Chain A
Amino acid sequence: MSDSSARELAAFTLASEPGNERQALALVADALSQSGLSPTQLEKLKTAVAEATMNAIEHGNHDQADVLVEVTVVEQDGVVVVAITDRGGAIGDLEPPAEPNLEDKLAGLQTPRGWGLFLIRHMVDAVDEVRDGDRHTVRLTVHPSTPPAITRSH
């Protein structure tokens, strides 16, 4: 029988200082070391966490160190959700509206930057954003690579 209760594996805050995204990915990776995610999924999630945390620090909290980024890691039935909360704008408002186009970037028609949201979307199974007052949360969801075992009764 599967355990359908959600388990909070980690909850921490970070000062909004450039570079602290490395701390976020390390703490999330540590929290998920015993999870059902494959090494590949974990590597991808770490990249998504780093990018989302960078966005929260730079664009959400505007590099104000005393405004904290909140991170929680929750697992339920093998599904992992990492929530990253800042006090600012939605990432979709801040990235270039179009998908980054490498040919255009190489031709100087697009800035070389603008890969953050693109990477996040390709690294996890789902990305969604929630607004609650001045709180803005990005939720990164990863499903287990192998579905939980189903116990059959005969």
Chain B
Amino acid sequence: MNTTFAVGVRGVEGGMVVALTGDIDGSASAALSEAYQRGVEENNPERVLLDFTATDYINSSGIAAIVSVLAQARAQHRPVLASGLSDHYREIFEITRLSDFIELHGDVDEAVTQIRQASR
């Protein structure tokens, strides 16, 4: 059933992690964009990780919200990574070609390690 969207941001060496929880649909768009902007102001990250570990539903409006954040990050020359996608949503990222612009990792630790190594 529906789970309310929540987003948390934390800085890591070389980047920031945007942890997404709950359903990513149209109602998540404003909160995701706001969290991204706040996180950028506070952390000035080189790279941005979107962590989907606690998400099990993304609809087309959610895809649009992710595209919006990706567009902002690319305009700021901040590479975007993603972690924690299920096989189903990994396939959707491939079909929509989001995976051409977002580096996919299996879990958040693997992605954070990548961000740290890339910053050194």
9 closest Cβ pairs, A-B complex: A115-B60, A112-B64, A112-B67, A116-B60, A43-B88, A113-B64, A102-B97, A115-B63, A106-B71
| Chain B nearest Cβ from A36, distance in angstroms | 19
> Which residues of A lie under 8 Å from residue B88 when comparing CB positions?
40, 43-44, 47
In the bound assembly, the distance between CA atoms of A3 and B57 in angstroms comes to 35
Partner pick for A54 among B59, B63, B65, B92, CB 8 A cutoff: B59
Contact of B96 with A by CB under 8 A: yes
Contact residues of A between 17 and 39, Cβ < 8 Å to B: 18-19, 21-23, 26
Place the interface of chain B in its size category: 20 to 34
Contact of B7 with A by CB under 8 A: no
Contact of A81 with B by CB under 8 A: no
> Which residues of B lie under 8 Å from residue A119 when comparing CB positions?
60, 63, 92, 95-96
B59, B70, B100: residue with the most chain A Cβ atoms closer than 10 Å:
B59
> Which residues of A lie under 8 Å from residue B35 when comparing CB positions?
none
In the bound assembly, the distance between CA atoms of A19 and B25 in angstroms comes to 9
> Which residues of A lie under 8 Å from residue B97 when comparing CB positions?
102
The answer to whether A112 touches B2, judged by C-beta atoms less than 8 angstroms apart, is: no
